[in-house]
Chains A and B, each alone.
Chain A
Amino acid sequence: MICLIEKLKKEYLGRSIVTLLGIVIILVTLSITGFLFYKGLGTFVTYNHSVWEFLFSSDWKPADNFDGGGKVGAAIFIVGSLLISFLALLIATPFSIASAVFMTEISPILGKKLLQPAIGIFVGIPSVVYGWVGLTVLVPAIAHVFNLPYGFSVLAGGIVLALMIFPTITSVSVDAIENVDNGYKEASYALGTTRWQYIYKVMLPSATSGILTGVILGLARAFGEALAVAMVIGKMQTFPDNILSATNNMTAEIASDMGNSAQGGEFNDALWSMALLLLIISFIFILIMRIIAKKGEEVK
């Protein structure tokens, strides 16, 4: 009997706990998703706005009451989010790939000793610190360099975000490069190619799907970041004329107005719709990553 209990403990206790915790996580994810859909659809169901208006109109005057009748065009915020995230990607990706190549092929010793810890520190800095440094250093610097009245801008947001997503893209790229079959390297060197020829003709193409995964992960992170962007973007409700103009984005708008609007009112629901849109976009990113990863597997 005791033996049986012992056996049950050994066999099932650990497994049950792990299974239970796993189920809890799945339930939490599902309920957050469900809740976001419930809240986010209010704009369209309760207040009868069209999805078209929400996505493509720039007229943003949601009524902060329960009667509705305001305007919920979120195009400025959506464009702002897209613009800043892609700008961040454009700035960060070359540095990330270069750093990854440096750490894996050019100078692994220096890379592992200096660059890797530095990247670890990058990850550990809280986003409010990035935002604050951006606000005190970057924003005045942009104003000074470009001779503007103030430096709050898409560019400032892009640079701050680039710093924040650089470590993500770099570390995923390093993994991707380290996963490249060492046989390719030997084969290439044995054919009398230079290190650089190997890197750009064989290694990087082989690591492309992994590097792309890193890029999309970085993009997803850039898209979701609120605080740091909110501090440097200027929160202007206009489309930016160029990357030096101030604008606003979804996360910054949610962060600044979520506490100022009545629960369940049109304004509040419109913010929830933006939150839902962020979730949907991150789902799309995950989907793209899966497809790329699968394509990468097929090539192998």
Chain B
Amino acid sequence: MDKIKFDTKSLDLFYGDFQALKSINIKICENEVTAFIGPSGCGKSTFLRCLNRMNDLIDSVKMKGEIIFDDKDINGDIDVINLRTRVGMVFQKPNPFPMSIYENIAYGPKCQGLKDKTQLDTLVKESLTKAALWEEVKDRLNKSALGLSGGQQQRLCIARTIAMNPEVILMDEPTSALDPIATAKIEDLMSSLKKDYTIIIVTHSMQQAGRISDKTAFFLMGEIVEFDETPKIFTNPNDKRTEDYITGRFG
């Protein structure tokens, strides 16, 4: 059995009075791609945002239960800044900063105190190369990142996350705002990143989950209905509700 990266134990989450997550139990393994699927509002993005404590930005959120990340409960007394450098995140809408391409990548490491120009240069090149963007942007590193296409911007956001050298990359519907060609590039990228990182992706596209993930969790109304190897989920699910969703009978 692979090493477990995240072990969630009976996690409940409330937005005010509304319970968005109900007793979530899931073990996510290292160096795998795990996909979360389910209809809109089922809690899959909410759960993803628990894993790097992004829900802290919303005041009304209350949580119960444990999320063990390498032996430590991240809902306990931990250094959130440190957690987020170890668990990076890529968002639905590409959100590069209004700075140059170079500065976008260098921003995170600089905030951690890295000042050495040579080291930064190397890091920027490495990150962009890993994100399959270096060849396209190497001649315009000092141009604004906002001039890139949507797909390039999203790969820049992935490069920016990689530059922090995280252990886990969370992706919240990273291709839903992109065209098919850009989507294909990002999907290729994910399978190559799997060697070095644990990837957890929320997706609306079942085809995408089928193509790229090793394991898939099906969320419904704040619960995980089923979690298993991806081929199993898509060909022979245990739960009737999973089957109904996969075959497009609702959702």
Contacts and interface: CB of A to CB of B under 8 A. Distances in A.
Mutual binders A and B: yes
Interface of A: 181, 183-194, 197, 201-202, 205-206, 299-300
A262 to B, nearest CB: 58
B205 to A, nearest CB: 21
Given A183-B95, A197-B111, A190 B146 contact: no
B95 A300 contact: no
A15 B161 CA distance: 53
Contacts of A193: 81, 107-108, 111
B111 A205 contact: no
A202 B111 CA distance: 11
Contacts of B4: none
B203 interface: no
A191 B146 contact: no
Contacts of B157: 187
Given A191-B111, A192-B85, A186 B161 contact: no
Nearest to B110: A201
Given A185-B57, A186-B57, A193-B108, A300 B98 contact: yes
Given A185-B57, A299-B98, A299-B146, A190 B89 contact: yes
B11 to A, nearest CB: 20
Contacts of B95: 181, 183-184, 186-187
Nearest to B103: A201
Contacts of A201: 107, 111
Contacts of B164: 191-192
B98 A191 contact: no
Contacts of B146: 299-300
A191 B57 contact: no
Contacts of A181: 95
A187 B81 contact: no
B84 interface: yes
A191 B169 CA distance: 11
Contact of B98 (A185, A190, A192, A205): A205
8 contacts: A183-B93, A185-B57, A187-B95, A187-B160, A189-B54, A190-B88, A192-B108, A197-B111
A206 B97 CA distance: 9
B127 interface: no
Of the listed residues A184, A188, A192, A197, the one surrounded by the most CB atoms of chain B closer than 10 A to its CB is: A192
Interface in B130-147: 144, 146
Interface string B141-165: 0001010000000000100110010
Contacts of A184: 95, 97-98
Given A187-B96, A192-B112, 8 more contacts: A183-B91, A185-B57, A187-B91, A189-B57, A190-B91, A191-B161, A205-B99, A206-B98
Nearest to B160: A191
Contacts of B230: none
Contacts of A202: 97, 107
A117 B138 CA distance: 51
Among A181, A188, A190, A202, residue most surrounded by chain B Cβ atoms (within 10 Å): A190
Contacts of B96: 187
A193 B84 CA distance: 8
Nearest to A108: B59
B216 interface: no
B54 A190 contact: yes
Contacts of A191: 84-85, 88, 107-108, 111, 160-161, 164
Contacts of A194: 81, 111
A299 B82 CA distance: 32
Contacts of A189: 54, 57, 84
B52 interface: yes
Residue from A184, A186, A194, A206 whose CB has the most chain B CB atoms within 10 Å: A186
Interface in B90-128: 91, 93, 95-99, 107-108, 111-112
B90 to A, nearest CB: 8
Nearest to A183: B95
A286 to B, nearest CB: 25
Nearest to A198: B111
A192 B111 contact: yes
Contacts of A206: 97-98
A208 to B, nearest CB: 10
Nearest to B90: A190
A201 B106 CA distance: 12
A202 B161 CA distance: 16
Nearest to A202: B97
Contacts of B112: 192
A190 B161 CA distance: 8
A192 B114 CA distance: 14
